[in-house]
Amino acid sequence: MPVQVLGDVLSVKRVGAYLSMTVIAPGIAELTRPGHFLAVQVGGPESSMLLRRAFAIYDVKDRGVYGGTVEFVFAVHGKGTAWLSSRRPQDKLDVVGPLGKPFRLPTTGVNATLVGGGYGSAPLLPLATALRERSCRVDMVLGAGSADRLFGLLEAKRMAASIAVTTDDGSVGTTGRVSDVLPGVLDKCRTDVVYACGPMPMLRAVAAVCAERGIPCQVAVEESMACGIGVCMTCVLPVIGDDGRTRMARSCVEGPVFLADRVRWDDVGSVPHDTVGALGRP
Amino acid sequence: MTDLTTILAGVRFPNPVFTASGCAAAGQELDQFFDVTALGGVVTKSIMLEPRSGRATPRMAETPSGMLNSIGLQGPGIDVLLDKDLPWLAERGARAVVSIAGGSVADYANLASRLRDRPGLAMVEVNISCPNVEDRGQVFACDPQAASGVVSAVRRNTAPGIPVFAKLSPDVTDIALIARACVDAGADGLSVINTLLGMVIDTTTMRPALAGITGGLSGPAIRPVAVRCVWQVHQALPDVPILGMGGIRTGLDALQFLLAGASAVSVGTTVFGDPTAPVRVLAELEQALADRGVEHVRDVIGLAHGAAGHLVPEGPDPVGDEPAAAMEEP
């Protein structure tokens, strides 16, 4: 059950090309599982920006000096995130969370490979902790455009049995994309399950690699949202349901985590003709 | 405290703050944040006879103090509403205002008869003004004859005692003309206004930002248009109840609509950024009325049409949410 909290900003840190913000938000930390996200109001109470910005939750602390805190990572893309980057400790921030369906965890110790693109690694780091608590082997593949856009590399190194890094410009690790090195990692690590978070083209490529090998894969998708709570119907994508039929699923409440083989990757952005309720169907 | 009870076409609501169609689904999601029975009513997302997938994405673009949407009436169809959503609202004790949308007069008639005698149904809102349909010719609210055909079919198929409200589009030359056509066809009241048709072009891709090209503009950006429409409709038809909506963000915004002639208001797009907005607006409105010494909310409905000084404001901020210094001389 999500809550709306007007919390104090505790810290804003620069991490490479990104910013990491921690907010005192009692009630959110206790309920958060890896894969949940936050919806953050930007611009203050008189803002001309009406819509919340959604960010995957990176870290939570449900006790300590400040009570419950929640941390998320973001990049400055537009006016809303620019405003967010100018917040300072003790500024107020209106946050709603935890939102969405988190990653599903295996019940037994399996070999899990976690694939993160850019700051998509943020929710994978607490996931790695949760998987290790369940006696899973965790291997990680992190990729980004350049070295400064890799998030959580040191932390990942501490937790993962192995780590592979790719950058588009070759500034660190293998030059190329995560999907270039993923097949080798899956074979070498005898991977049973894959978890991925990052930009849609990356998720699509990871899903294709996993489908080829028949490895179950969960992805946390990035769709633009207006509300984050399931009422606006803007963050939809075509997803195949348990009944085999495709529906336009809301990534905020039915996701953001989906089984990769249920997402109609070729049709994201459109409404496939066989979608339930598609126009032109008899 | 002020008596907030408001009456819409003979039906009594405990207060004049409702959700808006398309901005609250069928209430369950918002009930996580506040008790939906605290509102005057819950207006559900427009439902069609059959499931509808809606349009391709991107469906949304943020605009200054507003947003464009082109959802295309995505929904599960009337069966799911009748099996799940309406019984849930009824069991919760919420007053459900069911918004209906169709492609033909027969669709609307069918929807109305499916809703007949369903527990929990307080009112029917006829969405004749959704701009996000493939064929703009389907916007019944842009033509008095088409609007009249739909409204009379719904009224004929709806139980007596359940008000039928027609939701009007602001994208017309004379909104009072369409309002009158709807009332002559049997509408018990009017919902004013739906979104305005708008467009944003992405200057990076150099193409329209929305997959549907055009979309409905909503949010505080359209509030002055909405207040003007409520004013004009109330002036033309002073005895017809109005459910006013369009960019309401605060209690004082809601009060503007009441003063212009609305008997109740819907809080819509603001919910996307602030899920508890409807109850906050209600509390702020109650305070604003108390500050002004208003005993019954009905005393302010349409008050702005009267001569100045009819009710002396006692509040600290009589002109609304703008600082007096920013007001320009007329």
pLDDT in tens, B184-205: 999 999 999 999 999 999 999 9
Mean pLDDT of B123-149: 81
CB contact under 8 A, A277 and B77: yes
Q: Is the pLDDT of residue B132 over 70?
A: no
The domain segmentation of chain A, as residue ranges, is 3-99, 111-267
What residue type is assigned to position B319 of the chain?
V
Q: How far is A158 from chain B (nearest CA, A)?
A: 38
Q: How high is the pLDDT of residue A280? A: 65
Q: How high is the pLDDT of residue B321? A: 54
**Looking at per-residue confidence, does B301 or B325 come out higher?**
B301
What residues form DSSP beta bridges with A14? A19
Percent of all residues in chain B with a pLDDT value above 70, rounded to a whole number: 91
Q: How high is the pLDDT of residue B133? A: 62
Q: Is the pLDDT of residue B325 over 70?
A: no
Rounded CA gap, B250 and A46, in Å? 11
In A, what residues contact B, Cβ < 8 A? Answer: 1-4, 41, 48-52, 94, 96, 223-224, 226-227, 229-237, 247-248, 253, 268-271, 275-279
Contacts of A236 in chain B (CB under 8 A): 54, 57, 59, 74
Q: How high is the pLDDT of residue B326? A: 46
Mean pLDDT of B226-240: 98
Q: How far is A90 from chain B (nearest CA, A)?
A: 21
Q: How confident is the model at residue B311 (pLDDT cuts 50, 70, 90)?
A: low
Over chain B, what is the mean pLDDT?
Answer: 92
Q: How high is the pLDDT of residue B193? A: 97
Q: Is the pLDDT of residue A54 over 90?
A: yes
Rounded CA gap, A74 and B212, in Å? 29
Q: How confident is the model at residue B142 (pLDDT cuts 50, 70, 90)?
A: confident
Q: How confident is the model at residue B317 (pLDDT cuts 50, 70, 90)?
A: low
**Looking at per-residue confidence, does B134 or A111 come out higher?**
A111
Q: Is the pLDDT of residue A232 over 90?
A: yes
Q: How high is the pLDDT of residue B316? A: 52
Residues 6+ apart with CB under 8 A from A241: A247, A249, A262
- Given a contact cutoff of 8 angstroms between Cβ atoms, the answer to whether A15 and A21 are in contact is no
**pLDDT tens digits, A55-112:** 999 999 987 777 799 999 999 999 999 999 999 999 999 999 999 999 999 999 999 9
Buried b (16+ CB within 10 A) or exposed e, B5-39: ebebbebebebbbbbbbbbbbbbbbbbebbebeeb
- Given a contact cutoff of 8 angstroms between Cβ atoms, the answer to whether B210 and B70 are in contact is yes
Q: How high is the pLDDT of residue A187? A: 97
Q: How confident is the model at residue B130 (pLDDT cuts 50, 70, 90)?
A: confident
Q: Is the pLDDT of residue B328 over 50?
A: no
**Closest-CA residue in chain B for A276?**
B53
Which of B139-148, B260-269, B309-318 is predicted least confidently? B309-318
Q: How high is the pLDDT of residue B135? A: 55
The domain segmentation of chain B, as residue ranges, is 6-311
Closest CA to B276 of A36, A22, A94, A101: A94
**pLDDT tens digits, A178-230:** 999 999 999 999 999 999 999 999 999 999 999 999 999 999 998 889 999 99
CATH superfamily of B6-311: Aldolase class I (3.20.20.70)
Mean pLDDT of B262-282: 97
Q: Is the pLDDT of residue B257 over 70?
A: yes
Rounded CA gap, A70 and A122, in Å? 12
**Looking at per-residue confidence, does B9 or A279 come out higher?**
B9
Whole-number Cα distances in Å, B70 to A251, B59, B133: 17, 5, 9
**pLDDT tens digits, A144-165:** 999 999 999 999 999 999 999 9
Rounded CA gap, B240 and B263, in Å? 9
- Given a contact cutoff of 8 angstroms between Cβ atoms, the answer to whether B193 and B141 are in contact is no
State the DSSP H helix or E strand holding residue A246, giving kind and residue range, or none if neither.
strand A246-250
Q: How high is the pLDDT of residue B161? A: 95
Over chain A, what is the mean pLDDT?
Answer: 95
Rounded CA gap, A38 and A72, in Å? 8
Q: How confident is the model at residue A279 (pLDDT cuts 50, 70, 90)?
A: confident
Mean pLDDT of B89-97: 97
**Closest-CA residue in chain B for A44?**
B273
Catalytic positions of B, please? 130
Rounded CA gap, A244 and A267, in Å? 16
Rounded CA gap, A104 and A101, in Å? 9
CATH of domain A3-99: 2.40.30.10
**pLDDT tens digits, A21-33:** 999 998 999 999 9
Q: How confident is the model at residue B262 (pLDDT cuts 50, 70, 90)?
A: very high
Q: At what angle do helices B251-260 and B223-236 cross, to 10 degrees?
A: 30
Is this complex scored with an ipTM above 0.90? yes
CATH of domain A111-267: 3.40.50.80
Of A41, A235, A271, the CB nearest to B55: A271
Mean pLDDT of B252-259: 98
Q: How high is the pLDDT of residue A224? A: 86
Mean pLDDT of A235-245: 97
Q: How confident is the model at residue B109 (pLDDT cuts 50, 70, 90)?
A: very high
Query: DSSP state, B47?
Result: B
Mean pLDDT of A232-247: 97
Contacts of A94 in chain B (CB under 8 A): 274
CB contact under 8 A, B272 and A253: no
**pLDDT tens digits, B205-220:** 999 999 999 999 999 9
Q: Is the pLDDT of residue B324 over 60?
A: no
Would strands B201-202 and A174-175 be described as parallel, antiparallel, or unpaired? unpaired
What residue type is assigned to position B166 of the chain?
A
Q: Is the pLDDT of residue A36 over 50?
A: yes
Q: Identify from B28, B29, B130 which residue to disrupt to test chain A contact, counting A C-beta atoms within 10 A and taking the largest count.
A: B29
In B, what residues contact A, Cβ < 8 A? Answer: 22-25, 29-30, 32-33, 45, 50-60, 62, 64-67, 69, 71, 74-75, 77, 134, 211, 219-220, 269-276
- Given a contact cutoff of 8 angstroms between Cβ atoms, the answer to whether B16 and B254 are in contact is yes
Q: Is the pLDDT of residue B323 over 70?
A: no
